[in-house]
Amino acid sequence: MATTTVTVTLGHRSYPIVIGRNLLGGNYDIAAHLPGPDCLIVSNETVGPLYLDRLKANLPGRKLDALLVKDGEVWKTLATASSILDRLVGMRARRDATVIALGGGVVGDVAGFAAACYMRGIAFVQVPTTLLAQVDSSVGGKTGVNHAGGKNLIGAFHQPRLVLIDTDTLLSLPDREFRAGLAEVIKHGAIADAQFFAWLEENMVKLLDKDAEALAFAVRRSCEIKASVVAEDETERGRRALLNFGHTFAHAIENSLGYGEWLHGEAVAAGMVMAAALSDVDQRHRDRLRDLLETAGLPVAPPPLGGNRLRESMELDKKARGGQLRFVLLDRIGAARISSEYCAQRLQDILGQAASAIS
Ligand SMILES: NC(=O)c1ccc[n+]([C@@H]2O[C@H](COP(=O)([O-])OP(=O)(O)OC[C@H]3O[C@@H](n4cnc5c(N)ncnc54)[C@H](O)[C@@H]3O)[C@@H](O)[C@H]2O)c1
Ligand SMILES: [Zn+2]
């Protein structure tokens, strides 16, 4: 199966997303994208033992160092970023050094942030190994860490030089993580491409079987959609916010449950169903979205949460945003828009249903 390349077009900062099988096995010349000899690979204690040696073998003749950080969202912190910076200083990395992130979105976000900070920004390469990271977090240049006061509160835009997606790495990914990544794939179809959405309806079973051809196509199409949105609106002043479909509800779910109870993609799945309920969209389209998410084994309703937890969390969000909530509303499968105009009563009903689901 051929390797494909999707380009993120950003002038002189344009970069390729290379998608294929066994790319870590030597099928791609990663070294060609590194500006200088110094290179720090950042991975974690789970992914490092699986893929670090293979990645290293692709970088002969480089001054390589590797740092394995702890595994988990709770480690996406300034302290971890700081440990990466310490290592760069320790190896006397020069301005032409490269940080390579090998792992899921957590590793990518924190390593990218360290790369953005070291000497005001050094080269960065993403080697994403979760489906979510391959179709979402590794593309677009958002990097950052969490703070006790909020998720992703500290960060920077720092585009990678290369995103290398070896779809074979998905074979070792736990099933639940894989399904969570599918939520973002379905999101891309729902907001931007009705044909892709229909393809997903046809091919979901193959995807769940991790059929190589189906996976390559789904990853490629998702990256194309994300890349085109990012190329148009790199710093999210407008259209990029469409990628937040389902995310206002998802964040409320994540905040109410406590992070880590549900995976992000699971919260996004339920959030998209809720956002579709808030949209003036034909019921058939709502049903198709719900059915596809269900087939992917994802939740289509929020978790049982007592009382008004979701409502309260959304109120806090509203306050933080200067008194106005914005939602991505679905016009039909394949088309969405960003709006702060929505039916307040319908929102209350949707949140109310979530509360009454358990009482
Ligand atoms: N920067 C962005 O634009 C952006 C977009 C979406 C999400 N994110 C961030 O991404 C993070 C979530 O990323 P995630 O879902 O990849 O979670 P993650 O990085 O925590 O990875 C999930 C789990 O899978 C393990 N893992 C990764 N690859 C594996 C493999 N090939 N085989 C076996 N295990 C593997 C990890 O060690 C971890 O335990 C969040 O912090 C979120 O804020 C960032
Ligand atoms: Zn998301």
Judged by average pLDDT, the poorest of 150-164, 230-244, 247-261 is 247-261
User: If you search the block for the tokens 């200083």, which residue do you land on?
Assistant: 89
CB 102 within 8 A of CB 124: no
Query: How far apart are the C-alpha atoms of 170 and 4, rounded to whole Å?
Result: 17
Higher pLDDT, 174 or 321: 174
* pTM for the predicted model, two decimal places: 0.96
- Give the ligand with the smallest distance to the CA of 247: 2
| Length of the chain counted residue by residue | 359
Let me know: does 339 contact 326? Beta carbons within 8 Å. yes
- Give 261's pLDDT tier (boundaries 50, 70, 90): confident
Looking only at the bridges linking them, the beta strands covering 63-69 and 15-20 are: unpaired
Asked about 226 being catalytic, the answer comes back as: yes
CB of 43 within 6 A of ligand 1: the answer is no
How far apart are the C-alpha atoms of 180 and 149, rounded to whole Å?
Answer: 25
Q: Is the pLDDT of residue 358 over 60?
A: no
Query: Which pLDDT value is given to residue 357?
Result: 57
Residue 306: predicted pLDDT: 67
Using 50, 70 and 90 to split pLDDT, how confident is the model at 355? low
Average the pLDDT over 6-23 and give the result: 96
CB of residue 44 inside a 6 A radius of ligand 1:
yes
Between the CA of 264 and the centroid of ligand 2 the distance, in Å, is 6
Q: What is the pLDDT of residues 75-96, one digit of tens each?
A: 999 999 999 999 999 999 999 9
Q: Using CA positions, which residue lies closest to atom 36 of ligand 1?
A: 104
147 annotated active-site: no
Average pLDDT over residues 342-350: 91
How far apart CA 330 and CA 130 sit, in angstroms, is 27
Cβ-contact 230, 139 below 8 angstroms: yes
Q: What is the pLDDT of residue 359?
A: 42
Quick check: 278 pLDDT over 70? yes
Q: Annotate 284-339 with DSSP letters as a single string.
A: HHHHHHHHHHHHTT--SS-----TTHHHHHHHHHHHHTTT---EEEEEETTEEEEE
Query: How far is the C-alpha of 58 from the C-alpha of 46, rounded, in Å?
Result: 20
Q: From the candidates 21, 184, 220, 255, give the one annotated as an active-site residue.
A: 184
Does the C-beta of 130 come closer than 6 Å to ligand 1?
yes
Q: Is the pLDDT of residue 39 over 80?
A: yes
Average pLDDT, the chain: 94
Give the pair of three-digit tokens for residue 352: 């109310």
Rg from Cα positions in the chain = 20
126, 30, 5, 108 alpha-carbon torsion, rounded to 10°: 0
For residue 26, which phi and psi values (nearest 5 degrees)?
A: 110, 10
CA atoms within 13 A on the CB side of 17: 28
Positive or negative torsion for Cα 109, 110, 113, 114? negative
How far from the centroid of its chain's Cα atoms is residue 85's Cα?
Answer: 23
